[in-house]
Structure 1
């Protein structure tokens, strides 16, 4: 029997409000596991955020109050998180997905964080391919890339007791000027791109979601409920 996953589309929502929902779902899964339940409420949270810069656990280079003040002055929030990675931007035109999953529910993952991240990367690669955009992974660098130097999707996760939070962000038609204000993910020799830029047409989050769900379902061997 294939694992069932709930899809929760939050539409547009602030980062912190969506984070509270993530934590609530995570706690629900952990409580189910503690009670010995054979079924947990694995959930895919889909959201477009209001402009926000987030930094991960490798945040030392960004503990600069002047930087925080400057970014807030652009009209964006600034949030410190417990995900992996450095600084990145989330905003309108970007599909953000938070898979809150118990890895033990998925036979193909073997409760392995590495297998989980690879499955996220493969999901994104197949999705981009469905649009005619060839992407790949770059050894040692998280996320998905076009021609090895243009980042189209970011991945930053957290895992506690085999339950995942945080996730991925795919640039659909996000305004790329936001990324010019920082060094995304600490990579000064790389650039950021989007499906819209690569295809030279507008590609909305709404257009991308069905293809993302198809790719996720195929790669994670699950069904949606």
Structure 2
């Protein structure tokens, strides 16, 4: 299998609505490249799988914009790939008991607590949205919602599970390495969505 390049935009800490706008530009650029037509705590409607969730400081948000048809990757296999890359990262960090569960419990779990939420949208074979990995997230935000619509389940973070502060910056490079390994690609830094 040939290795494909995937551009990476590092936005840093930005409001979710801004990240969503950048993501929409990336999706439009991906559709245009293929020749397809493309169209604090804030409540933002998003076209992705799953129910309500929280995105905020201390989370690593990754929104891959990939053409699944070009990669010959079915949607369910793509979601499983996202789970696999987070599991690979967890193993690197020493969390051997992290696991993926069958739907509707998509994501990565530590016991009955979700460590990483996954919610994707796929339109015209192009993905958007993706995953939210709780690194050093203030977990009290989740007390105000039913995360992902799953009653009776908890939410956890890498910091909580490892018993030490784990910043997003600490896991970013191993996360990107895991992405390259699971999706058999090379990551290239980019400045703009259409680069």
How does the TM-score come out when normalised to structure 2? 0.90
Q: CA deviation at 1:111?
A: 3.2
Q: CA deviation at 1:137?
A: 1.2
Question: Does 1:152 find its partner at 2:115?
Answer: yes
Contact 1:2 1:223 in 2 (8 A): yes
Q: CA deviation at 1:105?
A: 3.4
> 1:203 matched to which residue of 2?
166
SS of 2:22 mapped into structure 1: helix
Q: CA deviation at 1:138?
A: 1.6
> 1:64 matched to which residue of 2?
none
> 1:105 matched to which residue of 2?
70
In structure 2, what is the Cα distance between the partners aligned to 1:154 and 1:111? 21
Question: Does 1:174 find its partner at 2:137?
Answer: yes
Q: Which runs of 5+ in 1 are unaligned?
A: 36-50, 52-75
**What's the CA shift string for 1:142-197, capped at 9, x where partnerless?**
111012x0100000000011100000000000110000111111112111000000
In structure 1, what is the Cα distance between the partners aligned to 2:187 and 2:147? 33
> 2:192 matched to which residue of 1?
none
Contact 1:157 1:166 in 2 (8 A): yes
Of residues 89, 95, 113 in structure 1, which corresponds to 2:60?
A: 95
**How is 1:1-225 mapped onto 2 (pairs within 5 angstroms)?**
1-34=2-35, 51=40, 76-106=41-71, 110-133=72-95, 134-140=97-103, 141-147=105-111, 149-225=112-188
Contact 1:3 1:105 in 2 (8 A): no
In structure 1, what is the Cα distance between the partners aligned to 2:16 and 2:52? 14
Q: CA deviation at 1:104?
A: 2.8
**What's the CA shift string for 1:91-111, capped at 9, x where partnerless?**
1001000001111332xxx33
Greater share of strand residues, 1 or 2?
Answer: 1
In structure 2, what is the Cα distance between the partners aligned to 1:125 and 1:111? 19
In structure 2, what is the Cα distance between the partners aligned to 1:118 and 1:180? 28
In structure 2, what is the Cα distance between the partners aligned to 1:99 and 1:18? 12
**Number of residue pairs matched?**
182
Rg larger for:
1
Q: CA deviation at 1:25?
A: 1.0
Instruction: Give me the CA root mean square deviation.
Output: 1.1
In structure 2, what is the Cα distance between the partners aligned to 1:217 and 1:111? 15
